[in-house]
Structure 1
Amino acid sequence: MKLAATKVPVSTVWTSPDAPRDIDAPATAAQPDVAAWAKSMDTETRLGLHGRTLTQLLFAEPVLVRSERDGWSEIVAPWQPSSQDELGYPGWVPSSHLGELPESATDPVAIDVPSASLLAEPDGPEMAELSFATVLASIEHADGYTRVATPDGGSGWLADAALRAVVEPSAADDRLRLGELFLGLEYLWGGTCAYGLDCSGLIHTVGRVLGLRTPRDAHDQAAALANIPLDEARPGDLYFFAQDGKPIHHVGFVSAEGMLHASETGKRLENGPLTDERRATLVAAARF
């Protein structure tokens, strides 16, 4: 295996090199346009992602490459813990999306706004538009900007107003505030970026911004986090849902209104009361 890093803003992870459809070409292009891809899909097309997409990698996210064939790389993503593999979340990405790990640096920072421009210089031309929850190592600070290490030995600048120090302490209110940035965003199976989130992707990405190592999938999140009695859950905790005798299939942030969550394909991220159907399948709660 070899170490690599994602060198595009968002790389979608697929079940196999044969999984993408013609309509998925914007997501698998050498320079993917995930925003355009998400915008192009109606509900039926999004439902077709089930069994095709698994998760997404963000810019500079490290991966372990297990094998390569026909322009694709079999990877595991160590920043996304999974019961499927002790090394991280497994899947396939276009090899063109991967580059060399950024040079070592300190003081990781995370993008805590929906998206931010990576600039060649402070107030200079844009190199890329990066998604919420992108984590980068900082090199220096100057005049309201931070220079960060990028893949393949490069660097760029981000406005400090778009960043949060990963080591900065956080509270329950921070989790809800960050999740609410995406109210109205359409659900995307396997989504972990500003252009689409699924239920566990919301929890995982918010946790990443706050320096919390959270598994990628809902059932793994329930297993890894400290379970609490349902009647002790408070805003910022998590609710988990399952059908009788089946694994956990849904998760959301407990909120004063009820639950902040990415509901399901065809719906949008919302914050509101639990429906009777949700209450009937509510099986556990957990706390970070």
Structure 2
Amino acid sequence: MKLVAAKVPVSTVWTAPDAPRDVDAPAIAAQPDVAAWATSMDTETRLGLHGRTLTQLLYAEPVLVRSERDGWSEIVAPWQPSSQDALGYPGWVPSSHLGELPGAATAPVAVAVPTAPLFAEPGAGAFAELSFATVLASVEHADGYTRVATPDGGSGWLADDVLWSGGAGTADDRLRLGSQFLGLEYLWGGTSAYGLDCSGLVHTVNRVLGLRTPRDAHDQADTLENIAIDEAQPGDLYFFAHPGKPVHHVGFVSPAGMLHASETGKRLENEPITEDRRATLATAARL
């Protein structure tokens, strides 16, 4: 295996090289346009992603390559813990989306707004638009900007006001960060500003705060500190499961009820828990 990094802003991870459909071409292009791909899909097309997409990689995220075939790489994502593989979340991505690891690996900074321009020089010449929860190694600071190491030996600059600087964060911070995506359409396998699924919302918010949380809801429930449902406070997590079945849904406890990415065909919301949903409320966890 070799260790590399995602060199595109968002790379969607697929179940197999033949999983993408014609409509998914923008997502697997050498320079993917995930925003256009997400916008192009109606609910039926999004439902067709079930069994095709798994998760997403963000810019500079480290990746272990297991094998390569016909322009595709079989990978695991170490930053996305999974019970499927001890090394990280497994799947397939176009090999064109991968490059050399950034030269620096210390003093990490995280993008804390939905999207942020990455500049060639401070304030001018943006060459990429990075998603929320992108984590990069900082190299230097100057006049309200931070220089970061990028894949393939390069560097770029991010405005300091798009970066998280609050340490581990509080319950209020988790809800505030997640609330930036209210109204965003649910995307199966989404971990980017262009679409999130339920566990993707939890995973990415925690990544901004420096917490490495499992990628999937059932793994989050198995790994995090479980608490009694009636002890849950805003900023904690609710988990949902049918009797005798694994956890299938997660959301942040909020004063309104729950902040969550509901399901395909719906949008990220902060609303009271419905009676149907409450019937499957199985446990809670504290971050």
Q: Matched residues in 2 for 1:205 and 1:111: separation?
A: 10
Instruction: For residue 270 of structure 1, report the CA deviation from its aligned partner.
Output: 0.2
Tell me which moved more, 104-113 or 197-206. Answer: 104-113
- Structure 2 partner of 1:270: 269
Q: Which structure 2 residues correspond to residues 41-80 of structure 1 after superposition, within 5 A?
A: 41-80=41-80
- Structure 2 partner of 1:91: 91
- Structure 1 partner of 2:152: 152
1:251 alignment partner AA: V
Q: Matched residues in 1 for 2:271 and 2:20: separation?
A: 34
2:253 alignment partner AA: V
- Structure 1 partner of 2:20: 20
2:75 alignment partner AA: I
Tell me which moved more, 256-265 or 102-111. Answer: 102-111
* TM-score relative to the length of structure 2: 0.99
- Structure 1 partner of 2:219: 220
Q: For the Cα contact (< 8 Å) 1:190–1:198, is it kept in 2?
A: yes
Instruction: For residue 104 of structure 1, report the CA deviation from its aligned partner.
Output: 1.8
Q: Matched residues in 1 for 2:140 and 2:210: separation?
A: 20
* TM-score relative to the length of structure 1: 0.99
SS at match of 1:5: strand
2:48 alignment partner AA: G
Count how many residue pairs are aligned between Structure 1 and Structure 2: 287
2:201 is aligned with 1:202: yes
Q: For the Cα contact (< 8 Å) 1:148–1:158, is it kept in 2?
A: yes
Q: Matched residues in 1 for 2:139 and 2:242: separation?
A: 48
SS at match of 2:16: coil
Give the share of equivalent positions with the same residue, in percent: 81
Query: What whole-Å deviation, never above 9, does each CA across 1:163-208 have from its counterpart, x for those lacking one?
Result: 014x713111110000000000000000000000000000000000
Query: What whole-Å deviation, never above 9, does each CA across 1:228-279 have from its counterpart, x for those lacking one?
Result: 0000000000000011111100000000000000000000000010000011
Q: Matched residues in 1 for 2:224 and 2:277: separation?
A: 21
- Structure 1 partner of 2:253: 254
Q: For the Cα contact (< 8 Å) 2:104–2:139, is it kept in 1?
A: no
1:147 alignment partner AA: R
- Structure 2 partner of 1:125: 125
Q: Matched residues in 2 for 1:72 and 1:4: separation?
A: 14
Q: For the Cα contact (< 8 Å) 1:259–1:272, is it kept in 2?
A: yes
Q: Matched residues in 1 for 2:218 and 2:205: separation?
A: 17
Q: For the Cα contact (< 8 Å) 1:105–1:139, is it kept in 2?
A: no
SS at match of 2:279: helix
Query: What whole-Å deviation, never above 9, does each CA across 1:103-123 have from its counterpart, x for those lacking one?
Result: 024210000000000000002
Q: Matched residues in 2 for 1:257 and 1:104: separation?
A: 42
1:235 alignment partner AA: P
5+ long unaligned stretches in structure 2? none
SS at match of 1:247: coil
Q: For the Cα contact (< 8 Å) 1:118–1:157, is it kept in 2?
A: yes
- Structure 1 partner of 2:281: 282
SS at match of 2:30: coil
SS at match of 1:90: strand
Q: Matched residues in 2 for 1:105 and 1:171: separation?
A: 26
Q: State the Cα RMSD in Å.
A: 0.7
Instruction: Show structure 1 runs of 4+ deviating over 3 A.
Output: none
SS at match of 1:117: strand
Q: Matched residues in 2 for 1:72 and 1:244: separation?
A: 39
SS at match of 1:158: strand
Q: Matched residues in 2 for 1:279 and 1:169: separation?
A: 30
